[in-house]
Copies of this chain bind each other. A is one copy, B any other.
Amino acid sequence: MDGANVKCSCEKCQLKTLFFNHVSIDELTDICQIKEERTYAKGDTIIHEGDIINEFLYLKEGLVKLLKTTTTGKDQIISFSKPFDFVSLLSVFSSERYRYSVSAVDNSVVCILDLRVVKNHARQNALFTMDLMSRISEATDKIVIENLEIKRKYLKGRVAHVLLYFANYIYEKDEFELPVSRREIADYIGMTTENVIRALSTFRKDKIIKIYGKEIVIADKSRLENISEFG
């Protein structure tokens, strides 16, 4: 039964690894056959806060944001997630409905499984469930720690932190095309758009970064790190 490998052909898929480690090949074929891929354009909403959860999904390609909209209509961005961070997992096993929204920050491809099928496997396979659990914990730990980091900084430190976050964690490069607007950065770090722009301008004037529209080049990384740590 090598067909499973063919159906789940995505090379680096961590979910596949997760299943392979603990689920028999026959079961896997099941899961792969019901797997569905969906494509979202930059800006599309993938999950609506409040919707009933009946799918299990994870990001295969692209970049998404997890967010919540306040009663006054402002967005608060909880985290950004790149492929194989199991973004949708957060409330999947604790709530009937999504507590957050997820939308595509960049063109994205999402893989989708029927949640009932995944839960079925979870019920029957404790090791699989434990693995899932540790991934959920890891993902939420990351969110909590990242949030604390941002919280303890002032405006410039927060903006520097976000730039380093994209450079080190998302793109692993010191030159990249910012996938988010200034307003999204503001929604993430809890400051206003104007002040995010001002901070970026200051960094540019101080020759710490170069800005060509959406493209950012980190010119003096150690100084940026210093601002992130102490600014």
Chain A binding surface, main DSSP class: helix
In whole Å, how far is A167's beta carbon from the nearest beta carbon of chain B?
A: 21
For the complex, is A35 an interface residue (Cβ under 8 Å from B)? no
Per-position 1/0 for A60-99, Cβ under 8 A of B: 0000000010110010101000000000001111110001
**Does A144 have its Cβ within 8 Å of any Cβ on chain B?**
yes
Is A180 among interface residues, defined by CB-CB distance under 8 A?
no
Instruction: Knowing A137-B91, A141-B91, A143-B144, say if A130 contacts B130 (CB, 8 Å).
Output: no
For window 130-174 of A, CB contacts with B under 8 Å fall at 130, 132-138, 140-141, 143-145, 147-148, 151-152
Does A205 sit within 8 A of B, measured CB to CB?
no
| Complex CA–CA separation, A140 to B127 (angstroms) | 22
Shortest Cβ gap from A190 to chain B (Å): 5
A125 in contact (CB, < 8 A) = yes
Shortest A134–chain B CB gap in Å is 5
> How many copies of the chain does the oligomer comprise?
2
Determine which of B94, B130, B147 lies in contact with A137 in the assembled complex, contact meaning CB atoms within 8 Å: B94
**B-contact 0/1 string along A102-135, CB 8 Å cutoff:** 0000000000000000010011111111101111
Contact check, B134 vs A123: say whether CB atoms are below 8 A apart. Answer: no
- Which B residues are CB-close (under 8 A) to A129? 122, 126, 129-130, 133
Residues of B within 8 A of A141 (CB): 90-91, 94-95, 99
Q: Please give 17 more A-B residue pairs, beta carbons under 8 A apart, in addition to A76-B148, A76-B151, A90-B140.
A: A71-B229, A76-B152, A78-B144, A78-B148, A90-B141, A90-B144, A93-B134, A94-B135, A94-B141, A95-B141, A99-B141, A99-B145, A122-B130, A125-B126, A136-B136, A140-B140, A144-B147
